[in-house]
A and B are shown apart, each in its own frame.
Chain A
């Protein structure tokens, strides 16, 4: 957070006639924060109200009771989705990041012929609307026995594979830019010592790339955890990731309000934890998607 903090240094400009400026600014920021937190207020407060008290007509009211009953009611239905998403997101983000680090290193450092054609083609992969590959993907994964009922894991393996592959463009970009930013001398030194490309990658580049790994892993974990479309086409009930489970449990109007809120809150918890603990890296991942600062 140091970069952010440094901005505070030149903050209080003693401007004449602008005494109300800081107060108005605080007021505006506070009002915006309240607006942004309104949905969270309803989400959290409703989840912890007792089911008897929770009602849409009193959704803005302060809680008169504290109860975990809503969570207890939905957790059994969400648990397998939770576990599935972990089983998908952890390997998918690790493998995608590892492959991305190799791609990024080669594209940044090896003077590969055609790199200036390959790199933009990979980059475009970040923006491809998934609808444009959906039909061929479903056909291929079905034929390969990796989709839905055709797969002993209910599509889980196929889903991991898909997330690895479609994660490659962004992880490649993250690592490529990281390695471009490293001083040339670091890897050249190793090459002068006689280390080949692979050796330099494994012995020099990988250990240095820890910050880029943090960014890529968080980005991928978020993307996989929040994915809906791939999960919807790939999995059967037993393999549903958390988003599908959430939508099917809490999506209908017939679901009790408190249960809908409690399941949405549970489904968000891992991401909120990641966001709170690792927000610096989360931020960098966001900026990476913009191709530039």
Chain B
């Protein structure tokens, strides 16, 4: 595995303090890692409790009949899970999250890759373009949502505001849409637009870093052997970008599954853009259905773990003996 963080040469003139004196060498009998363990113990305990302890606790809640403010720790088996699949809102949410994820992941991936390809060889103003494509990542989803909800809004009457107004002003009126208020699956597909706006620059950054790691000599060699640009891309660049593509997909997928604030701030009361993470929130904290909330959360966690688990494994294996 290449290093996630750029490796910097030690700063020039970085002195290595000659710390303790030589006499102590002979006295070191206890294992050298013991001090290390003490150093990380607080963090390990905190992560152990707040991540794994709470995950276990949440799974426990998902097999109870806990409703209302007073916790109930009975045991009802997998009843809540079975009930979920018969739940109309849940089935709508699953459909929505599948659409959202598909549009958002494929869209951001394609756009990010396209932008990276355009920028890769170095063009005038590349720093500017990179910054423009990437900065939405620095903005909170809430602020993104607040701007976009006005852009997606049609105003009163027919297309007097927002993107639709702009489209009709430039003669592209036929592209108009009801966006997040559309019928069917189109509403949730439309809110993948702000999500993609926020994150495709990130994908671009990943791809640019990946492309930078491909030695130019390799591609040059292929060209000298008579390969066309398309062949160079398909047989040299594409395979070498595989790890970065996997990273990008895993990151986009997990962001997509847990997206909450963007949808909440665009229109929290609209079932058209409802997803499991929103349902979890409302059923738990508005409805008091802690059992159902915990069940949804567990399903979300399993979905993310199925994607992320193998990814972490393979990343570390490639990191290998280090």
Contacts and interface: CB of A to CB of B under 8 A. Distances in A.
A and B from one complex: yes
A85 to B, nearest CB: 10
B147 interface: yes
B166 A271 contact: no
A291 B315 contact: yes
Contact of B120 (A7, A123, A195, A260): A7
Contacts, number: 374
Nearest to A3: B212
Contacts of A37: 132
B141 A228 contact: yes
Given A59-B165, A122-B47, A127 B54 contact: no
Tell me whether chain A's interface is mostly helix, strand or loop, or mixed: helix
- What is the interface residue range for chain B against chain A? 35 or more
A29 B51 contact: no
Interface in A43-97: 43, 56-57, 59-60
B99 to A, nearest CB: 19
B261 A196 contact: no
A112 to B, nearest CB: 5
- What is the interface residue range for chain A against chain B? 35 or more
Nearest to B223: A13
B44 to A, nearest CB: 7
Given A1-B127, A36-B136, A243-B261, A198 B39 contact: yes
Given A22-B123, A120-B316, A129 B304 contact: yes
B140 A226 contact: yes
A131 B261 contact: no
Interface of A: 1, 3-4, 7-11, 13, 22, 25-26, 28-29, 32-33, 36-39, 42-43, 56-57, 59-60, 99-100, 102-103, 105-107, 109-113, 116, 118-125, 127-137, 139-140, 162, 164-166, 168-169, 172-174, 177-178, 180-183, 186, 189-201, 203-204, 207-208, 210-212, 215, 222, 225-229, 233, 243, 246-247, 250-251, 257, 260-261, 263-264, 267-268, 271-272, 274-276, 279, 282-284, 286-293
Pick the 7 closest A-B CB pairs, nearest first.
A181-B7, A110-B36, A226-B140, A11-B122, A228-B261, A8-B122, A195-B19
8 contacts: A9-B122, A26-B124, A29-B123, A130-B258, A178-B8, A287-B206, A291-B1, A292-B243
